[in-house]
Amino acid sequence: MSETSPFALPYLKEIFQQLRKGQHICAEDGNIYFALHDNASVYQDLFSHLGFKMEVHFRDFYYFTGSENLSDTSTKMALFIFILMEYLEGQGESVQEGILTKTFSINELPHFNTERYRSYMKEIGVEDFDGLVGIVSKLERFGFAQRHGDTFRFRSPVYRFFDICSSMIQENEKSSLLDMEKE
């Protein structure tokens, strides 16, 4: 990059505003993504001096990390996606492929199909389809999904939830092994 000032970075204001709001920037975001991608280390350095940590996911999207505790919104989004993943697996589908390639109709989501799913949703304060619409809207706002009326599809940043799920499974397996060794 030829500019000497990091404040001359292309789309700096837009990129910072989106990341600060919790959005995830991926290739589908066009010029903003390419400006970030082409100057990632300069943006990272600048943001770090401003007190923000920008992560570059190995699937090629960008986001700020913060506290390790999940917010209420993050918990709702995670549970929403985990139920969808379990449902797809139960249908014999490849979870990852299904999440990343399907277009989902909000009216046909499985989140209220079983007592167990309804119970999970009730625990996070979602008891009807309006609540599901709210979660899908939040997924869109943070860059995990793209909505078209009553349908939506996931974008590549949804891999963050796959990472969370994978790490939870690994932690559970470690805990189970430790329990077995104690017996």
Q: What is the CATH number of the domain that holds 34?
A: 1.10.10.2250
In this structure, are 149 and 127 located in the same domain?
yes
CA 13 to the chain's CA centroid: 22
Tell me the backbone φ, ψ of residue 92, rounded to 5 degrees: 80, 15
* Cα 141 from Cα 129, distance rounded (Å): 18
Q: Mean pLDDT in the chain?
A: 88
In this structure, are 27 and 99 located in the same domain?
no
Q: Who contacts 15 (Cβ-Cβ below 8 Å, separation ≥6)?
A: 9, 25, 32, 35, 36, 43
* Cα 131 from Cα 118, distance rounded (Å): 12
| Helix (H) or strand (E) run with residue 53 in it | strand 53-56
64-110 pLDDT tens trace: 987 555 578 888 998 899 899 989 999 999 988 999 999 999 999 99
Given phi > 0 = left and psi -120 to 50 = alpha, else beta, which region is 22? left
Q: Which of 15, 175, 152, 169 is nearest to 77 (CA)?
A: 152
pTM: 0.78
* Cα 183 from Cα 176, distance rounded (Å): 11
- Of 26, 42, 65, the position where a domain reaches its end is 65
**What average pLDDT does this structure show over 128-142?**
95
In this structure, are 17 and 59 located in the same domain?
yes
Residue range(s) defining the domain that contains residue 25: 6-65
On whether residue 182 sits in a domain, the answer given is no
Residue 3: pLDDT band with limits 50, 70, 90: very low
Q: What is the pLDDT of residue 68?
A: 53
Q: What is the pLDDT of residue 172?
A: 62
Task: Label residues 38-71 b or e (16+ Cβ within 10 Å = b).
Answer: ebeebbbebbeeeebebeeeeeebbbbeeeeeee
Q: What is the CATH number of the domain that holds 102?
A: 1.10.10
In this structure, are 52 and 77 located in the same domain?
no
Q: How many domains does the chain have?
A: 2
- Alpha helices, DSSP H only, in 10-154? 12-20, 31-38, 40-49, 72-90, 95-101, 115-123, 129-141
Q: Sign of dihedral through CA atoms 94, 99, 104, 108?
A: positive
- 4: tokens are 């000497």
* Amino acid identity, position 150: D
In this structure, are 60 and 83 located in the same domain?
no
